Structures are given as structure tokens and as C-alpha cells.
Amino acid sequence: MSYNENLQAIEDKISEAAKKSGRDVADVHLVAVTKTVDIVAMEKLYNLGIRHFGENRAEVFTEKVEAFADKPDIVWHFIGSLQTRKVRAILPYTHFLHSLDRKSLADEIEKRATQKVACFLQVNISEEETKHGFSAEEAIAFVKAQNYERIEIVGLMTMAPNTDDEQTLHHVFQGLKAVQLEIEKLGIPNVPCHELSMGMTNDFEVAIEEGATFIRVGRALVEEN
Ligand SMILES: *Cc1c(COP(=O)(O)O)cnc(C)c1O
């Protein structure tokens, strides 16, 4: 399949999942995860109308941002685990950071940022040892205790376990939604927390049914099969 066909197939699935759950497709933003492809491939995606791009490594992220400096309508998402010492390099280009997974990272962002940075708190709903992020309880405690000026918590992000068991996936995404609603309700300044970044190639339809507003899709878009 070509990128065009891949994109069509994904958009059809997004529409279907939105319809099934009575949601507006306009509320679901597709972030193209381009960590496995080069700039030429990204240009093709751009020409198909993709404007949200997600990368997970700081060096590659900044290289790609620089390569697309002539396309200011791109929205850049940093989705990977971020070392504190790399914060300074990526901040000027990051429209959304999906992987705010610890307080020390937030402290560094607050120190380095010159303007507000839109961040998702990464929450480890499935509590797998290998996954980064706050537990649900830690996330709530964190937003209550913080008073950053330059960090805006726009929402929550999670990675579901690698499984085809739909029930497990529904359960994880419902769990993130529940924490999102709880935090949103607190009405904390700089913590609007309206958004949900959840759903990847394996599980984005379930994530949409459970309220995802940003899905992060790599393989389904860029794999030629
Ligand atoms: C790679 C990656 C994705 C995309 O995963 P696919 O299975 O290729 O769709 C989404 N989110 C994060 C954080 C990733 O690292």
C-alpha cells in the first residue's frame, strides 16, 4: 500500500470509531509518528495533508524540524522519553511534549523555557514495570502540588500494553480518561487537562472510542505492505 492508501485506511477507521462512539472526527488529531522514516518520506506525508508530526529522539527531532523550516504550518510533537540534558535543545521547536514523565523533567523545562510549553503528563495506567510515567495517584498529586509558570498541562498520555485483547485496551484507556476528568475538574491554573493522547497502530480505534483526542500512529501509516 502507498502512503496515500495507508492514510485513507486510517482515516476511514478514525471516522468509523468516532461514529461508533458518537464523537466528532474533528476532535481526533492524527499525529504521524515518523521516527522510522526519513525526510523524503515525511515530505510525501506533508503533501498528503499531514501537519502533525511526532518524533521520539532529540537529535533526529531537531534535524527534521530544521529540514522543514520552510513549512511553518507543521505542528511538532515530541513523544519519546526525554533526557533532562536534552530539554534545552528541543524546547524551541516543541509544540506538544507528550512524555512529561517525572518531576525532574518538569523542573528542567520550567527552568529552560522562555514561553509556555504544552505538555501531556505521561501516566502508566497499566503499571507495567517497563513503562515510564506517573501512576494515576502520582499524576493527581503532581498537578496539585506544582505551580509552574511555563508548563501547561494540556492533557494526559499513555501507552497501552502490547496486546490484542480489546477488553484490556478499553480498560487502560478508560483508566486514563477517568484520571483526565478528575484532574480537569480540579480547575488548577495552567492545568486545563482537556486532551487525551492515546492510541497507536494496534489500538487507535479503541482509544478513539474511549475519548482519544490525539492518536500517535506510526506503522499503519508508513509501513508498505
Ligand atoms: C513509536 C511510537 C508510537 C507509534 O507506534 P506505532 O505502533 O508504530 O503506531 C506512538 N507513541 C510512541 C510514544 C512511540 O514511541
pLDDT, tens digit (0-9, with 9 covering 90-100), for 121-165: 999 998 887 788 999 999 999 999 999 999 999 999 999 999 999
Distance CA 138, CA 132 (A): 12
Greatest alpha-carbon pair distance for the chain in Å reads: 49
Cβ neighbours for 204, distance < 8 A, ≥ 6 positions apart: 10, 13, 14, 17, 212, 215, 217, 220
Q: Which letter, b or e, does each residue of 205-220 get, where b requires 16 or more Cβ atoms within 10 Å of its Cβ?
A: bbbbbbbbbbbbbbeb
Task: Give, using CA atoms, the residue closest to atom 11 of ligand 1.
Answer: 216
pLDDT of 1 > 80? The answer is no
Amino acid at 27: D
Per-residue pLDDT, averaged over 202-211, amounts to 98
77 lines ligand 1 (CB under 6 A): no
- pTM summary value: 0.97
Q: What is the CATH number of the domain that holds 197?
A: 3.20.20.10
Pairing of strands 75-78, 52-55: parallel
Per-residue pLDDT, averaged over 58-64, amounts to 98
* pLDDT above 90: percentage of residues in the chain: 96
pLDDT at 53: 98
Which residue from 81, 216, 224 has its CB within 8 A of the most atoms of ligand 1, so it is best to mutate?
Answer: 216
Per-residue pLDDT, averaged over 27-49, amounts to 98
Domains: count for the chain:
1
212 lines ligand 1 (CB under 6 A): no
pLDDT of 23 > 70? The answer is yes
pLDDT at 225: 65
Residue closest to 38 by CA, chosen among 9, 6, 73, 67: 67
Kind plus residue range of the DSSP H or E element containing 28: none
pLDDT band at 224 (very low <50, low <70, confident <90, very high): confident
* pLDDT above 70: percentage of residues in the chain: 100
pLDDT of 40 > 70? The answer is yes
pLDDT at 128: 80
pLDDT of 183 > 80? The answer is yes
| Domain span holding position 157 | 3-222
Listed in sequence order, the DSSP H helices in 74-135 are 87-90, 103-112
Tell me how far the alpha carbon of residue 183 lies from the centroid of ligand 1, in angstroms.
25
Q: Whole-number mean pLDDT of the chain? A: 97
